[in-house]
Amino acid sequence: MQILHVCAEMFPLLKTGGLADVSGALPQALGQQGADVRVLLPGFPAIFAGLQISGEVATFNSFAGQIKVLFGQTAQGVGVYVIDAPHLYARGGNPYQDGNNHPYADNHVRFAVLGWVAARLAEGADPFWRPSVVHAHDWHAGLAPAYIAAAGHPARTVFTIHNLAYQGVFSPSDFAALDLPAHFFSVNGVEFHGHLSFMKAGIYFADRVTTVSPSYAHEITVHEQGCGLDGLLRDRGEALSGVLNGVDEAIWDPATDALIAANYTADKPAGKAKCKAALQQSLGLQESADAPLFVVVSRLTEQKGLHLVLERLAEITSRGGQFVLLGSGDAQMEAAFRVAAAENPAQIAVKIGYDEVFSHQIMAAADVIMVPSRFEPCGLTQLYGLKYGALPLVRRVGGLADTVIDCSLENLQEGIATGAIFDGFSGEELTRGIRRMFALWARPKEWKAVRKTAMNCDFGWQAAAQQYMQLYRALGA
């Protein structure tokens, strides 16, 4: 079974968010299930820097000018097709925006090419390897199912929605540049309220549509979280399903993690205290094993509920807790967190930006990982928290609801609790969750039991890989 994954980024080559973690881990897990998996990526400089290129597959004179498709491998041995088009991808800023955080004006072309090349590979552009299934991820690859449909369906297609809120919507005038049949710009196609939508294209044209958790698959079919596409998603109900993301245990495992101060396991957790002390010392926090350490590793956006955390920081510090944040995003939120840290450096530390090494150190040190999202397709930080014994404090939504078991009295008695869950998207509800964490912290025996249960949870990628293999087989791959 030959499967081509199509996406904009892939860990460890290039990462701006959780999509890269998925595209880095899932192909390897599918390979362990017997699939022959390759990945198609845009030729961003960081991607080229991490690949060993072995040769050229094809040269095309496309609607975006001349492009080459090269083939290489990651250090982990995953086969990668990379689109060599410096005029599209060799730029400053990040893959999607310039240095001033403005989206590139030609993003519709830059990412349409990704889908167009996927269709060429499905048609057999590589004489030595041809996919039976093309699996496209998020809006950047949303046109892959459309181009494959326009080519007469040379492969079956799967489209995974990682976050429906980011849809790749462009001006209707941009459609003319993309070399798609004119009739594709319609309600039964890529048209979305008069505009061009890459996300809608993926949902409409793919043979199967998945999301990254079962709860989110249901939530996006209702108006509140449907982002204007809930009607189409309801229409595609039989083709829509949720497959929970996993954790790449080769990277995220406190027993073997070389990035943290001390290794530890669920049965031998002593190293976690050393990790906490090391982080406190490095950040200038008061060194105290008795102070519960609450952390956030996240984009700073309203969706993630970080304004609620700002609003209720005193609930943590007034009770003797500490708080550490790693993230970036909304400028006002960044500034407010910096002010909070400057005013209380013994209890609050903030690092703006993203640092992969530091994220591991935070997770290893943390007692509580906070994910109070307004919506959350899956969430990966709570899964990392479970693995590292940082108990998740989460809102009951999307993948958070699917992965965390609340520390209610009955769940504590049954020995299945792994964190704390609250319902409403408000500061008051978050406060209740914080208080419950402190109540559990005050019972060390129960805290340690919940932490052990959390660390023993199995959220590896094998379960997701098995579900995707079943889905591919159902498509006749």
- CA gap 47, 378 in Å, rounded: 25
Q: What pTM was estimated for this model as a whole?
A: 0.92
Quick check: 93 pLDDT over 80?
no
Check residue 18 and give its pLDDT. Answer: 86
- Residue 258 confidence (pLDDT): 97
Q: Could you check whether the bond before residue 12 is cis, i.e. omega within 30 degrees of 0? A: yes
- At residue 24's C-alpha, the angle toward residues 108 and 99, to 5°, is 45
> How far apart are alpha carbons 187 and 189 in whole angstroms?
5
DSSP β-bridge partners for residue 320: none
Measured CA to CA, the distance from residue 169 to residue 139 in angstroms comes to 9
Per-residue pLDDT reduced to its tens digit, 6-24: 999 999 999 988 899 999 9
DSSP 427-465: HHHHHHHHHHHHHHHTSHHHHHHHHHHHHT---BTHHHH
Distance CA 98, CA 102 (A): 5
Residue 140 DSSP symbol: G
Reported as a single tens digit per residue, the pLDDT across 194-226 is 999 999 999 999 999 999 999 999 999 999 999
**CB of 190 closer than 8 Å to CB of 246:** no
**39 touches 4 (CB < 8 A):** yes
Can you name the residues that pair with 355 across neighbouring β-strands? Answer: none
| Exposure letters 236-248 (e unless 16+ CB within 10 A, then b) | beeebebbbbbbb
229 with 199: CB under 8 angstroms? yes
Token code pair at residue 337: 């967190």
Give pLDDT tens digits for 303-334: 999 999 999 999 999 999 999 999 999 999 99
Assess whether pLDDT exceeds 90 at residue 471: yes
At residue 228, the pLDDT reads 96
Please tell me the predicted confidence (pLDDT) of residue 328.
Answer: 93
**Domains parsed from the chain with CATH numbers:** 2-246+461-474 (3.40.50.2000), 270-455 (3.40.50.2000)
Instruction: Please identify which residue in the block is written with the tokens 């597959």.
Output: 57
Phi, psi of 160 (to 5 degrees): -105, 125
pLDDT at 16: 87
Please say if the pLDDT value at position 268 is more than 90: yes
Mean pLDDT to the nearest integer, 69-96: 94
pLDDT of residue 17: 83
Of the pLDDT bands very low, low, confident and very high (cuts 50, 70, 90), residue 101 is confident
CA 477 to CA 466: how far, in whole Å? 14
* pLDDT (0 to 100) of residue 99: 82
pLDDT band at 476 (very low <50, low <70, confident <90, very high): confident
Q: Which residues of 448-469 are buried (b: 16+ CB within 10 A; e: fewer)?
A: eebbbbbbebebbbeebbeebb
Q: Which residues are annotated as a binding site for ADP-alpha-D-glucose?
A: 15
Contacts of 427 (CB under 8 A, 6+ apart): 308, 311, 312
> Residues marked as binding?
15
Asked whether the predicted pLDDT for residue 354 surpasses 90, the reply is: no
**Structure tokens that stand for 402 in this block:** 């699917």
pLDDT at 389 over 80: yes
Phi-psi region of 389 (alpha: psi -120 to 50; beta: other; left: phi over 0): left
pLDDT band at 92 (very low <50, low <70, confident <90, very high): confident
Encode pLDDT of 179-195 as tens digits. Answer: 999 999 999 999 999 99
Tell me how far apart the 2 most distant CA atoms of the chain are, in Å: 67
**What is the per-residue pLDDT for 269?**
97
Name the band, by pLDDT with cuts 50, 70 and 90, for residue 236: very high
Q: Is pLDDT larger for residue 94 or for residue 471?
A: 471
